[in-house]
Amino acid sequence: MQPEENIPLSLFRADLEDILEFELPANYRIRWYRPGDELHWLNIHKEADQYNTITPELFAQQFGRDLGVLEQRQCYLVNECHAPIGTASAWFDDQFQGGPIGRVHWLALLPAYQGHGLSKPLMTAVCRRLRELGHTSAYLSTSSARSSAIRLYLKFRFMPMIRSQREKEIWESILGKKLATEATGNVKTMRLSN
C-alpha cells in the first residue's frame, strides 16, 4: 500500500562495495556531462518529474557552474541516436550529518524509456563513479509516491533512514510492517536526531 501523501524520504548505503552490476542493452551507452547538457537535463526532468517544478535556475542551484565537477559527476544515458534519455549525478554533500558523503542525485528517465530496466545500469554507473571518486558511503533523497524509484534504491541496498515517527509509519506502509522493521533495524545507527 502506498501512502496518500508525497512525503520526502532519504535512503543510505553504508559502503560502496559490491555494487550491483547491470549492463546496458545494445545501442545504449553512458556518457558524462558536456557543456550544454543543462538543456538535456531540463528536458528529461520536465517530462519525467511530476512532483517538482523544473527550471534552469534549479539546475544551477543543485549543481553550480563548475564544469570540471559536472564533467566528473553528471552522467547521461543516450540511445542509439546519441540522444540523452536519462540522467543521474554522482554528487556529494560536504555537510551530511557533519561530514562529507556521496549522493545519488536527480536520477530520471524519459517516460517512454521507463520500465525497460534502464535505470539499473544508470544506478550502477553512478554508484561506481562515487566509489571511483573516493566516496565510501552514499545517500539519496526521494519521496513516498515514487514507488518504482524506491524499489530500485532498495535493490541497490540503500536502506531507509528514519528521522521521525511519521517516516517510520510511511516506510511501514511502503514495505509492510515486517519488512520495514527488518530494514530499519539494520540502519539504527543512521537515525537522525530530531
Residue 96: exposure state from Cβ atoms within 10 A (0-12, 13-18, ≥19):
middle
The three grid cell numbers given for residue 16, joined into one nine-digit string = 560502496
The three grid cell numbers given for residue 85, joined into one nine-digit string = 534519455
Domains in the chain: ranges and CATH: 17-136 (3.40.630.30)
Q: What is the pLDDT of residue 84?
A: 98
Residues 124-146: b if buried by 16+ CB within 10 A, e if exposed: bbbbebbbeeebebbbbebbbbb
Q: What is the pLDDT of residue 191?
A: 40
Q: What is the pLDDT of residue 93?
A: 95
Tell how far CA 66 is from the center of its chain: 21
Distance CA 62, CA 84 (A): 19
DSSP string, 32-54: E--TTHHHHHHHHHHHH-SSS--
Q: DSSP secondary-structure letter at 16?
A: -
Using one digit for the tens of pLDDT, what is the confidence trace for 9-60?
Answer: 999 999 999 999 999 999 999 999 999 999 999 999 999 999 999 999 999 9
Average pLDDT (61-74) is: 97
C-alpha distance from residue 190 to each of 10, 14, 54, 183 (Å): 11, 9, 30, 12
